[in-house]
Copies of this chain bind each other. A is one copy, B any other.
Amino acid sequence: MPDQQNRVTNRIDLQVDLSYEVAEPGADFVFNIHAARTPSQTLSAERLVLNQALEPQTYTDPNTGNRYMRLRARPGALKVSYAVCVDMTHCREQPSQIDEVPICDLPPQVMGYIYPSRCCQSDRLLTLATAEFGMLKPGYGRVQAIRDWVQGHVTFKSNSSNSSTSAIDTLIERVGVCRDFAHLMVALCRAVNIPARFATGTDYGADPALGPPDFQAYVEVFLGGRRYILDPSGTAIPMGFVRFGTGRDAADVAFATIFGSVKSQAPVVRANAIEDASLGIVLPHLCQDALSTDVGTVISSGDRSGA
């Protein structure tokens, strides 16, 4: 169990504004734009404003903590404005101290994250991943090697992919956005039996040359009993990511899934970091440690009956 000294706390003031033009006869939306509530991510001053008088349904997935909001919008403009103040506590650990978990010891709840998914076809990458990473010492270092390989083999390029683009496509075409980097890293981790999931939230610290602040996709891997966050796109400061959702891949945690005929404007995202020395809150910064937002509680290892 990491001690207090290894924790770092950040605060992000977040504002997300979405704007759509909905055609007749209206459209259903499922949003995943609420910050997750977890033991290490606490929320205050949360506020959601809709320009249409609607009663959205919300749902928190008990497995992931993802908060979904569903609504049926009427034709015309739909504006969704979400704001929240997020305090995040990260555990920092020495990379060299973090081992992989053998398959036979993986908690059942993470087993699903070594299987292939829509955009992370790890089943086709076993030979490649074994050739590239199979000889490396298991542990966080191997995950870093995968992250670095993805960064080294893929070039960031806006609008170079779409919602059907998969890890296989990115591996071949070698361009993508953060979503594509994350899919490829997830697929490669799974191909060497490291549970990995796709995470979404908001970006922090990216080079403005890459575009305005935006949603961000990154990766959570399961090592040594907890999940660690990594940013294969290499464009940002992971300590400042606010987490919205986690899932198998982007198909699970689109920030908006739309059923109907709708024109979308680019989302407007503002994420301001707050520093408050009196509370021990520091600005997010790049660091060499491994970062986890997961308290690392013991996960039950299954029921006991042998059939």
Contacts and interface: CB of A to CB of B under 8 A. Distances in A.
Copies per assembly? 4
Given A57-B301, A104-B70, A301-B57, A153 B174 contact: no
A116 B118 contact: yes
Interface in A261-297: none
A303 B60 contact: yes
Contacts of A172: 124-125, 128, 168, 171-172
Interface stretch (A61-69, A87-95, A141-149): A61-69
A104 B72 contact: yes
Contacts of A72: 103-104
Contacts of A56: 306
Interface stretch (A107-115, A219-227, A236-244): A107-115
A47 interface: yes
A217 to B, nearest CB: 16
Contacts of A111: 30, 68, 70
Interface string A233-269: 0000000000000001001100001010000000000
Contacts of A171: 171-172
Given A30-B111, A174-B128, A306 B104 contact: no
Interface of A: 28, 30, 34, 46-48, 55-61, 63, 67-72, 82, 102-104, 108, 111-112, 115-118, 121, 123-125, 127-128, 131, 153, 155, 163-164, 168, 171-175, 193, 248, 251-252, 257, 259, 301-307
User: Considering the complex of A and B, which 3 residue pairs feature the smallest CB-CB distances, nearest first?
Assistant: A48-B307, A59-B108, A59-B302
